Amino acid sequence: MKIVTLIEDTVVEYGQEQADQLLTHRHGLSLYIESNGLKILFDTGPDNSIIENAEKLSIDLTEVDFAVVTHGHYDHGGGVSAFCRVNASAPIYLHKKSYQDSHFSQRPGSKMKNADFVIDKKDFDRVVPVDNLPSGKQEGVFTLDPLGKVVIITGFPKEGYIPSGNKNLYCQKVGEDIVNDDFSHEIAMLIRENGKNILFTGCSHSGVGNMMKRAGEVLEGESIDYVIGGFHLIDTERNKSNNQKDLQVLVDELEAYPGTQFYTGHCTGSKPLQFLQQKMGKNRIHEIKTGYQFSIKT
């Protein structure tokens, strides 16, 4: 399995001789994945930056078989229409609530801001709501490929560690009041390849431990070998008084999976990442940046 980070908040460092290859980093996430003979775009970042970065990284987005957008925020779905301009046929899988509902953020002392992404009307024929697909033998699990190697997972439990930053995030159904977002529009992707199980998350608003628990149910006892994506710990980083206490709850949850490797960035935050690495070891918690590429042997 090959994974290339097209968009992330930070960027890998290049030498002076590679200055012409400098990549654009943005607040957001986009991963290019090659697995099981498929080419997948997992989230699209906030804008058209994925197009230029893909070219510089020698990734041909015209060959992508399908894209997945994990939830209804601009930093994960803002590049959808840009992607559709270069790829004429790939379906876009997401939860219908991610575009039917409106989404907002409001930091303490600040005005409420719209957090939605916009899909051009001409691209809506490419949109496939996963919750309209038939479930397999497990409810809320949707298969994206003929071999059943790539599935979308929904319906995460709401126990254990939940990111404290969620309290500043809101949603609104048409004709209803604005309420705290329950992130029922959040999805994750699970890939099985040659005996390895890899869980991809966008922001883990539902709590990465909860998402792993749900994936474990889907796997029916099989181990989760890798978790790749954002953990949404940034708000905890800002709240220093609760930082270690909150993060220790998450560490305890992740330690229940001693064989799992974690690759994270975007909304995880530098200080929480350092805390996780201190507690669990840098050999288990790896940082991803724009331009970071790695392979998983399967």
| Topology of the domain covering 2-295 | Metallo-beta-lactamase; Chain A (3.60.15)
State the pLDDT at residue 246.
83
**pLDDT score at 14:** 61
Report pLDDT digits (tens) over 248-289.
999 999 999 999 999 999 999 888 999 999 999 999 999 999
Helix axis angle for 208-219 and 243-254, nearest 10°, is 10
pLDDT in tens, 222-256: 999 999 999 999 865 454 434 678 899 999 999 99
Q: Are strands 66-68 and 92-94 parallel, antiparallel or unpaired?
A: parallel
What b/e string do you get for 48-84 counting C-beta neighbours within 10 Å, with b at 16 or more? Answer: bbbbebbeebebebeebbbbbbbbbbbbbbbbbbbbb
Strand-pair partners of 290: 11
Region of poorest pLDDT, from 8-17, 129-138, 199-208: 8-17
Residue 135 clears pLDDT 90, i.e. is over it = no
Record the pTM: 0.95
Band of pLDDT at residue 200, cut at 50, 70 and 90: very high
Q: Are 178 and 57 in contact (CB under 8 A)?
A: no
Q: Is 245 helix (H, G, I), strand (E, B) or coil?
A: helix
Rounded to whole angstroms, what are the CA distances from 200 to 69, 152, 154?
11, 10, 12
* CB-CB neighbours of 241 under 10 Å: 7
pLDDT at residue 238, rounded to an integer = 53
Is 280 strand, coil or helix? helix
What is the tens place of the pLDDT at every residue in 68-126?
999 999 999 999 999 999 999 999 999 999 999 999 999 888 899 999 999 999 999 99
- How distant, in Å, are the alpha carbons of 87, 209, 229 from that of 232? 30, 12, 9
Q: What is the per-residue pLDDT for 237?
A: 46
- 95, 186 contact by CB (below 8 A): yes
